Amino acid sequence: MSNAITKSDFHFPGQQKVYKGKVRDVYTLENDILVMVASDRISAFDHILPKGIPHKGQVLNQVATMFLDATKDIVPNWLIATPDPSVAIGYACEPVRVEMVIRGYLAGHSAREYKAGKRMLCGVALPEGMKENDRFPEPIITPATKAEEGHDEDISREDILSKGIVPEEIYVQMEKYTRALFQRGTEMAAERGLILVDTKYEFGIRNGEVILIDEIHTPDSSRYFYAEGYQERQDNGEAQKQLSKEFVRQWLIENGFQGLEGQQMPVMPDEFVQIVTERYIELYERITGKSFEPADTSNIEGRIATNVAAFLKKL
């Protein structure tokens, strides 16, 4: 099995601080430059799983880069370059502390809430008579507050505005961008025989302007179904064939873990780790239409350090 990078400790030129997220390690350099290292860590239910997934960081980074490039006509974004398969370099922005979650289908969290009897999600009324994985009449935006640690919390548009979490003009702009980005992502997925089910976007402010930050349309931030056979599976009450991280969540649930207090994280056998790697690569190839070219993993940290240093000299 290939090596995986689960932690990093780089010292880039001009480095000022480091933020270690669930999946990414973000290095802030002078002149408001960020070096974002996509690790091979995988998280679910707001917990980092004990084993890394080989090539996952490369998949996330390269898929996100493709979509950032494909949507920069809709909204400006933070990205400058990707000097390494697992690294993105871009501009530091002041993050908006609200994630813009948009859902085209009743799946995942929304399906679990619906099954529990809720018909209101983040202030949005959900139609009666839906079953899991049905399409909404139109996509709904269900924001979440961005937690520093622990669970992100559902929140309504009304609460965001009444509590002054985000100024109204900024929030309205984020909503507009969210719908346009989801439409573009939906169209691009359809070209590849996929359905973009739901996703989330994060925004920041740079020089007074709303900027798209972080990743977009990756299997960590999005859920995809295969379009072929979708309706037949719905009609027959069958589970949808999907490319996303949901199957990892389902494996954890089946093994008695949902991130709740007192629950023990199950051990991931190597065979399951290999399956997860294969699913990530499958999504990469399906969504990009390109063959995945795995980077050299014999010395991942050394490779990243060399590639980033060479790029920064030219910046």
pLDDT of the chain along its 315 residues, tens only? 579 999 999 999 999 999 998 899 999 999 999 999 999 999 988 889 989 999 999 999 999 999 999 999 999 999 999 999 999 999 999 999 999 999 999 999 999 999 999 999 999 999 999 999 999 999 999 999 976 555 679 999 999 999 999 999 999 999 999 999 999 999 999 999 999 999 999 999 999 999 999 999 998 889 999 999 999 999 999 999 988 777 898 899 999 999 999 999 999 999 999 999 998 898 899 999 999 999 999 999 999 999 999 999 998
User: What's the one-letter identity of residue 182?
Assistant: F
Q: How far is CA 104 from CA 130, 197, 288, in A?
A: 13, 5, 21
* SS3 of residue 306 by DSSP: helix
Domain ranges of the chain: 95-244
Whole-number pLDDT of residue 46: 83
Whole-number pLDDT of residue 247: 83
- Matching CATH number, 95-244, of 3.40.50.720, 3.30.470.20, 3.30.200.20, 3.40.309.10: 3.30.470.20
pTM for the model: 0.90
Whole-number pLDDT of residue 246: 77
Here the tokens at position 161 are 């505005």
Q: How far is CA 76 from CA 33, 128, 167, 169, 284, in A?
A: 16, 38, 19, 17, 24
Q: Which spans in the chain are helix H?
A: 56-70, 109-115, 157-162, 168-191, 230-235, 246-254, 270-288, 300-314
Place of tokens 């009304």: 158
